[in-house]
Amino acid sequence: MSVKSDTALEQELAPRSSFPILSRSVYGRPLVYLDNGATTQKPQCVIDAITDEYLNVNANVHRGVHYLSQEATRLYEEARATVQAFIHARSTAEIVFTRGTTESINLVAASFGEAFMREGDEVIVTEMEHHSNIVPWQLLQARKGIVIRVCPITDEGRLNLEALSQLFTPKTRLLACTHVSNVLGTVNPVQDIIRMAHAHDVPVLIDAAQSVPHMAADVQALDCDFLAFSGHKVYGPTGIGVLYGKEQWLEKMPPYMGGGEMIGKVSFEHTTFNVLPYKFEAGTPDYVAATALARALDFVSGIGFEAIEAHEHALTVYAREQLSQIPGMRFFGPSDDAVISFLVGNIHHLDLGTLLDRLGIAVRTGHHCAEPLMHRLGIEGTVRASFALYNTKEEVDALVQGIDRVRKMF
């Protein structure tokens, strides 16, 4: 698989010009944006969708009899159907719009936790989780006295599946696990993990924040019980995300927040709740962001994951090869996916990131919201380069040259 140059990318994948911000410069240098794990840049069609809805449609959804409200509602519900098709859910009732992965996981921890977990019950997470799949369970632990069990990782940065199989007990109520590590780039064998958990009658929540942008998601084929992702990491706007949940679970779970739209009838004596998915969507949702997210998913589908995966994989392999030539280079994790974490010699990750920034190269530095993983690795942080469909071989070369330049300064 060859890595696409700028020109080939232009012709075969998506025009970089679809992403206006990529043509800007920083410090007088062309922007090299390699912080896509944190958030992706937006194509013009997503920016247009936001502008267009505010210019022409804006009205609150599900509330008005008037024309604009009905049109906004139609766009909002069409967006839900687009998400449903994108992740192959059975029905739109299983698609809850949230603010992002974090809110989706908090919703499950609070609501599933309320309905199905008691003191002493157990949730399994892994050593490579983002804080957003650790802290919600700790909040539940503080409220209800649940127990958090942690699946260790191997020195290569993979889940220790043998150890995982030993963690199930009659008190295990849920397994919550990331699909792709935002630090190590490990793609976890979620299908096997789900099968293992289901054999113990344990439902599974997949944190798909780092997988949905890079590979096709099929919740029915996976048979996961919950799946969470963020719009802004898949070329969509900020402030919108998705919780997929099997209807059989969502039906039995109590509302997460109370307010407008999530109710059936309200009186001071007794309130009934709306049907799915509205039971979980209290208050005015970010309907504009939902429409724009649908345009982002259309954009991704238009290119297709076959092309996206081939391009990103080739780019990641090329980057690992080139980076490995740098003296003192230390990688963390296998980088199966479009994420490469590293340290160079004794250079502090923050110094390296700051100096790369001065060369126009945006990378992420620090603990990447995964402090327990940093403890496991025995480090404080890494530099992380993470790729998207618009990145090029030339940008990888700029990164490598930039690191070499910084290294020579130390």
Q: Could you tell me the CA-to-CA distances from 367 to 149, 344, 381, 399, 401 in Å, in that order?
A: 22, 16, 4, 20, 24
Which residues are the active-site residues?
369
* Shortest distance (Å) from residue 332 CB to ligand PMP: 15
Burial (Cβ within 10 Å: 0-12, 13-18, ≥19) of residue 161: middle
Task: Return the structure tokens found at 220.
Answer: 């029915």
Neighbours of 119 (CB within 10 A): 10
Could you tell me which stretch among 98-106, 161-169, 263-271, 344-352 binds ligand PMP (CB under 6 A)? 98-106
Could you tell me which stretch among 73-81, 94-102, 277-285, 345-353 binds ligand PMP (CB under 6 A)? 94-102
Q: Which is nearer to ligand PMP, 41 or 210 (CB)?
A: 210
Spatial CB neighbours of 348, under 8 Å, sequence gap ≥ 6: none
Q: What is the contact mask toward ligand PMP in residues 113 to 142, using x (rule: CB under 6 A)?
A: -----------------x-x----------
Q: Which is nearer to ligand PMP, 3 or 228 (CB)?
A: 228
Spatial CB neighbours of 199, under 8 Å, sequence gap ≥ 6: none
Please count the CA atoms within 13 angstroms of the CA of 213 that sit on its side-chain side. 31
Interface with ligand PMP: number of residues (CB under 6 A): 12
Spatial CB neighbours of 11, under 8 Å, sequence gap ≥ 6: none
Helix-helix angle 287-303:67-87, to 10 degrees = 40
Could you tell me which stretch among 49-57, 99-107, 111-119, 167-175 binds ligand PMP (CB under 6 A)? 99-107
Three-class secondary structure of residue 245 per DSSP: strand
Residues in the chain: 410
Q: Which is nearer to ligand PMP, 181 or 291 (CB)?
A: 181
* Shortest distance (Å) from residue 199 CB to ligand PMP: 25
* Shortest distance (Å) from residue 135 CB to ligand PMP: 11
* Shortest distance (Å) from residue 275 CB to ligand PMP: 26
* Shortest distance (Å) from residue 23 CB to ligand PMP: 26
* 188 lies in the site for ligand PMP, by CB under 6 A: no
Spatial CB neighbours of 360, under 8 Å, sequence gap ≥ 6: 25, 26, 27, 29, 30, 31, 32, 398
Percentages (nearest 5) of helix, strand, coil residues in the chain: 45, 20, 35
Q: Which is nearer to ligand PMP, 121 or 244 (CB)?
A: 244
* 102 lies in the site for ligand PMP, by CB under 6 A: yes
**Exactly one of 178, 274, 291, 316 binds ligand PMP (CB under 6 A); which one?**
178
Could you tell me which stretch among 106-114, 203-211, 256-264, 337-345 binds ligand PMP (CB under 6 A)? 203-211
Spatial CB neighbours of 268, under 8 Å, sequence gap ≥ 6: none
Q: Which is nearer to ligand PMP, 13 or 180 (CB)?
A: 180
Q: Distance (Å, rounded) from C-alpha 218 to C-alpha 215?
A: 10
* Shortest distance (Å) from residue 305 CB to ligand PMP: 19
Residues 209-238 within binding reach of ligand PMP (CB under 6 A): 209-210, 230
Q: Which is nearer to ligand PMP, 362 or 369 (CB)?
A: 369
Residues 333-372 within binding reach of ligand PMP (CB under 6 A): 369
Task: Return the structure tokens found at 150.
Answer: 């942690």
* 207 lies in the site for ligand PMP, by CB under 6 A: yes
* 100 lies in the site for ligand PMP, by CB under 6 A: yes
* 182 lies in the site for ligand PMP, by CB under 6 A: yes
Spatial CB neighbours of 285, under 8 Å, sequence gap ≥ 6: 61, 76, 97, 261
* Shortest distance (Å) from residue 344 CB to ligand PMP: 23
Q: Are the beta carbons of 101 and 228 closer than 8 angstroms? A: yes
Sites of contact with ligand PMP (CB under 6 A):
100-102, 130, 132, 178, 182, 207, 209-210, 230, 369
